[in-house]
Amino acid sequence: MKAMILAAGLGTRLRPLSLEIPKPVIPVLGEPLCGHAMAFLREHGASSFLLNLHHVPETVREKVTAWTAGRFPVEFTHEPEILGTGGGIGNAREYLRGGTFVTANSDAVARFPLGGALTLHRSNGALATLVLLPDPSRRYTPVRVRDDGRIAGFGGDAPAGAFEGFYTGYLIAEPDLLDRIPRDRPSCIVRDTLVPLVATGAPVYAFITEGTFLDFGTPADYLRGTLALLAEREGGKGPHSYVHPRASIGKGATVGPDAAVEEGAAIGAGATVRRAILWPGAAVPPGTLVENGILTPRGFVPG
């Protein structure tokens, strides 16, 4: 199964961090952010990947290539003009043809039974299946679902349905969907492709599930998401901390609780880092405190 990671955004909400490192490859516990989605998809049968790039494409390509280290095939497309979620997928038509494929966003980490989603997609004979999770905080655009599992509609204008959740960005689709995406222009996969398909009664289904969804859109999201992954990695037992083997920790320094020290970061003697992320090249002076944010070589960003 082929997979596409949507990685062409500007990372506007993550600024100023995304002005230093493009959002798809910001460091998250020793891996590029998009690597977490790729690893999850590999666990569930994805054999090769394509990433669409726009902002600082060579940096994204370099970091992803270094992380994969030849373990599996990865290809890249470059969009001089951002094509949007629909245009980006459509631009990858030739790569994605040949069988069921899956797409995911590069700026979120999710955990859910993807194998169950694939089984449901195939048993329904679906053209497309969207993975939905509950949204009790109503942070995201609601998606409503009919009793038979088909998508009823998106947003406030959607008819009432049996379930209302949010779209995680995980889309399972058949190659025929690619021919329904507008050609040669930017587009949104939901607004410009899925909404018209739903209106005509096409077999567009939802996979309704429980799981974990971590949005890394803002600096605060990035800090929360990293610490949530750290807690998950350590089985929920605290306090939690991550120190890359090639980070430097001075004598008497305190790391944690809830700290991630990435490769090449340095903590001076007697310094303290808690509820914080240190980026590669970041340096904490001796005896100082860093907390509640992200320290980069350029400065501190509150989280």
pLDDT digit string, tens, across residues 239-298? 689 999 999 999 999 998 999 999 999 999 999 999 999 999 999 999 999 999 999 999
Q: pLDDT band at 61, cuts 50/70/90?
A: very high
What's the pLDDT at 135? 86
What's the pLDDT at 4? 98
What are the residues whose beta carbons fall under 8 Å from the beta carbon of 78, sequence distance 6 or more?
52, 53, 54, 57
69-120 per-position pLDDT tens digit: 989 999 999 999 999 999 999 999 999 998 999 999 999 999 999 999 999 9
Question: For residue 48, is pLDDT > 90?
Answer: yes
Question: For residue 157, is pLDDT > 90?
Answer: no
Q: pLDDT band at 163, cuts 50/70/90?
A: confident
Question: Residue 36, Cβ neighbours under 10 Å: how many?
Answer: 21
Question: Residue 110, Cβ neighbours under 10 Å: how many?
Answer: 22
Q: Supply the mean pLDDT for the chain.
A: 94
Question: How far does the chain reach from its first CA to its final CA, in angstroms?
Answer: 37
pTM of the model: 0.92
50-59 per-position pLDDT tens digit: 999 998 999 9
Residue located via tokens 């399972």 = 172
What's the pLDDT at 112? 96
Question: For residue 233, is pLDDT > 90?
Answer: no
